[in-house]
Each structure stands twice: as structure tokens, then as C-alpha cells.
């Protein structure tokens, strides 16, 4: 295995050293996924691959399976002899995980091994600070660095007010303003996408993520549609895909998200709501419920206008949701481990009976 051949795709030294334990396997990176089939890139080119039966049996949660951006170890370096077999997943340096959309309490790995995440939000009807707070929590939790990208700035008459509103809840995150129509912000965006780095684009449907990628690549790499009457682009991205830019950097486009559910994101909450955590740490009593206790720093901050009631309410809502999902995740993991153990025991009994 050659480190230099995969370095341009974002392979790190630690990942390469981990891969050396499996001398008979080859390093690849997942470019896209369609159900159980993965499109991967190796030093020998692109081809399709599936996980091995042993891999599938040992996987305990959905996040144990490969996702777009993952580095995996395969049985071959090219696809001339058919689909490759994925035997191992290299340790991720970051992973954006949310609660899967719908009623099922399952996790969904959106993208992995991302250096910077662009949280895209248009400055028209899509502008939503409470949704942005959710994104910031999950991006901080993922291990990537969040950057807020305000799109379609050519449609906004008072862009400075939008910047101020984002800055008020961003706790110092970088904010960019872009327009594919006027080419505003192109150099600012490209400064984050250097050779060997990976940037993921997250946001609601129609905010211009695919348009942004086409703008960066200089070609219609991803399909987009015209702007609707409400200034909102019609969404066309239906799957996650990693795209190599001419500059050498990589971007991961993702479908628009209607739901951004919490999934075990306490560290992300601490980062995204650091300003709130500062006030809670100043309360007179350690077990303060922040309701009517004397010496409650949160209550005083809201009263004095240092903390908005909307931001405090948002923090409480996200924390409660995350606590619930954290307990649910622990339960599902324990349940899966139990079923795996039962299946393994049953298999050993059947083997002994044959003897």
C-alpha cells in the first residue's frame, strides 16, 4: 500500500499506520453509496464494493458500517474482476451523525473524515437561527470545524444584519457570504478547500449546495434547477457524494435535511452553547434548575438582556432531546450486543451437534 497515492484523497498518517496491520488489504475511500453498494476510489481507480459477511455480522450499530468519506480496507485495488469486498473500516477522524429522519430511533452517518463543514443557509426565507443552532451542535460533535455559509447574498438588501444575527449565536465561527450569480465569496470559500482536505456541505433543500459545488468545479458536476418564485432553488441532490475539485480539495454534497435530530451530542452542545454554559456555571447552587432559585446566573442574564429567552429555550430543548437520544442509543447498542451474543452461542451449539 502506498501512502502517497492516497494522501491526495485525505488519507492521514495515523490511518495509514493502522492499515499496515492488514498487509493483504488495500486502502480505498468511499465516494458514494447506494443501499448496500459502495463506490470507492483506490490507487487503482474507481469501482464498486460491498461489505463482507463477517463485517456485517460483527457490526453492532448503523454507524459501524461505511459511509461517504470513510477510508476502508478492501480485498483488491481495482474492479476488473468484479465488486470489491470491504473487510475493515479505518478509524474516523470525524463523523457527522444525526437521528435518522422519521419515527424510527436510528442514527444516520451523513459524512465522515471531514475537516471543515459548510453549514449553508440562504438569506431569504430559509434563514433560521434555531435550525442553525442544531447544525452547529452536530458539527462540533462530529469533530469537524463549522463554517456558516450564507448563500444568495445578492438577494438580500441588508446582509449585515444577517451576519450580526449569526455572529450572536455562533460563538466565533467563521461566516462567509457567497453568490454564484455575482461570484462574491469564491476566494473565501476556496481558502478552506486546500489539497488533501475535505469539506462537507450541509443545509436545507434549495439553499444552493449543488450550485456551490458546480461553481467551485467550474462545470455542471451536479444537477440543479431554476430558482422558484420564493427565491428558493428546487432541490435535486438525492444522495451523498464526494467530489474531487480541480484544486485538489474534496467536497461532499448532501441531500437537504428536513429533520436535524440530536444523537448523543453533549460535547457539541457544550461547544455550540458555550455562552450559555458560562452563565450556568456561575449559579450559586450546583444543582440549580434555573427557574426560581436565588442567585441563578441564567435568570439574571435573561433579566439583564445578556442572554435571550429564545436562545435559552433552544438550549433546553436541544439538551432534553439529546439526553433522550443518548439513553436510546445506549439501549439499542446493548440490545444489539445481546442479540449478537445469542446468535454466536446458537451457532456454536449447532456446530457441536454436527460433531
Which tens digits make up the pLDDT trace of 105-157? Answer: 678 899 999 999 999 999 987 899 999 999 999 999 999 999 999 999 998 88
pLDDT of the residue at 227: 41
pLDDT of the residue at 330: 56
pLDDT of the residue at 64: 95
Q: Could you please report the per-residue DSSP string of 165-180?
A: HHHHHHTT-EEEE-BT
In this prediction the pTM is: 0.84
pLDDT of the residue at 229: 40
Q: What angle do CA 73, 42, 50 make, to 5 degrees?
A: 50
Parts of the chain with a pLDDT under 50: 225-237, 331, 345, 351
Neighbouring CB atoms inside 10 A of 43's CB total 15
Query: Domains plus CATH for the chain?
Result: 3-89 (2.40.50.140), 95-253 (3.40.50.300), 266-345 (1.10.40.50)
pLDDT of the residue at 293: 84
Can you name the residues that pair with 242 across neighbouring β-strands?
252
pLDDT of the residue at 271: 94
SS3 of residue 60 by DSSP: coil
Task: Report how far residue 142's alpha carbon sits from residue 97's, in angstroms, rounded to the nearest whole number.
Answer: 7
DSSP symbol at 261: B
Cell of 217: 468545479
pLDDT of the residue at 329: 57
pLDDT of the residue at 317: 93
Give, in order, the Cα–Cα distances in Å from 62 to each of 56, 59, 218, 296, 329. 10, 8, 35, 41, 11
In degrees and rounded to multiples of 5, residue 54 shows phi and psi of -65, -40
Can you name the residues that pair with 120 across neighbouring β-strands?
149, 203
Amino acid at each position: 500500500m502506498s501512502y502517497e497515492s492516497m494522501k491526495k484523497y485525505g488519507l492521514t498518517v495515523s490511518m495509514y499506520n493502522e492499515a499496515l496491520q492488514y498487509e493483504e488489504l488495500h486502502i480505498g475511500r468511499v465516494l458514494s453509496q447506494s443501499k448496500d453498494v459502495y463506490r470507492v476510489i483506490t490507487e487503482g481507480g474507481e469501482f464498486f464494493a460491498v461489505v463482507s459477511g463477517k463485517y456485517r455480522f460483527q457490526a453492532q450499530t448503523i454507524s459501524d458500517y461505511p459511509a461517504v468519506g470513510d477510508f476502508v480496507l478492501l480485498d483488491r485495488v481495482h474492479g476488473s474482476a468484479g465488486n470489491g469486498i470491504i473487510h475493515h473500516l479505518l478509524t474516523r477522524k470525524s463523523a457527522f451523525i444525526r437521528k435518522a429522519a422519521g419515527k424510527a430511533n436510528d442514527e444516520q452517518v451523513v459524512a465522515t473524515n471531514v475537516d471543515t463543514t459548510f453549514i449553508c443557509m440562504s438569506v431569504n426565507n430559509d434563514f433560521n437561527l434555531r435550525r442553525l443552532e442544531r447544525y452547529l451542535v452536530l458539527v462540533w460533535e462530529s469533530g469537524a470545524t463549522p463554517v456558516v455559509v450564507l448563500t444568495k447574498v445578492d438577494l438580500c438588501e441588508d446582509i449585515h444584519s444577517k451576519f450580526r444575527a449569526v455572529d450572536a449565536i455562533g460563538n466565533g465561527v467563521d461566516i462567509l457570504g457567497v453568490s454564484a450569480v455575482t461570484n462574491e465569496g469564491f476566494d473565501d470559500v476556496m481558502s478552506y478547500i486546500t489539497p488533501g482536505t475535505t469539506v462537507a456541505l450541509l443545509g436545507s433543500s434549495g439553499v444552493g449546495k449543488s450550485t456551490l459545488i458546480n461553481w467551485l468545479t467550474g462545470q455542471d458536476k451536479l444537477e440543479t434547477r431554476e430558482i422558484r418564485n420564493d427565491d428558493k432553488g428546487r432541490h435535486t441532490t438525492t444522495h451523498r457524494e464526494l467530489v474531487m475539485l480541480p484544486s485538489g480539495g474534496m467536497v461532499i454534497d448532501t441531500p437537504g435535511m428536513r429533520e436535524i435530530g440530536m444523537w448523543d451530542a453533549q460535547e457539541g452542545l457544550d461547544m455550540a452553547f458555550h455562552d450559555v454554559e458560562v452563565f450556568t456555571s456561575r449559579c450559586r447552587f450546583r444543582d440549580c434548575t434555573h427557574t426560581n432559585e436565588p442567585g441563578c446566573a441564567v435568570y439574571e442574564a435573561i433579566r439583564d438582556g445578556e442572554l435571550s429567552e429564545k436562545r435559552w429555550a433552544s438550549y433546553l430543548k436541544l439538551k432534553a432531546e439529546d439526553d433522550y437520544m443518548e439513553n436510546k442509543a445506549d439501549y439499542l447498542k446493548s440490545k444489539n450486543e445481546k442479540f449478537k451474543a445469542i446468535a454466536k452461542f446458537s451457532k456454536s451449539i449447532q456446530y457441536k451437534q454436527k460433531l
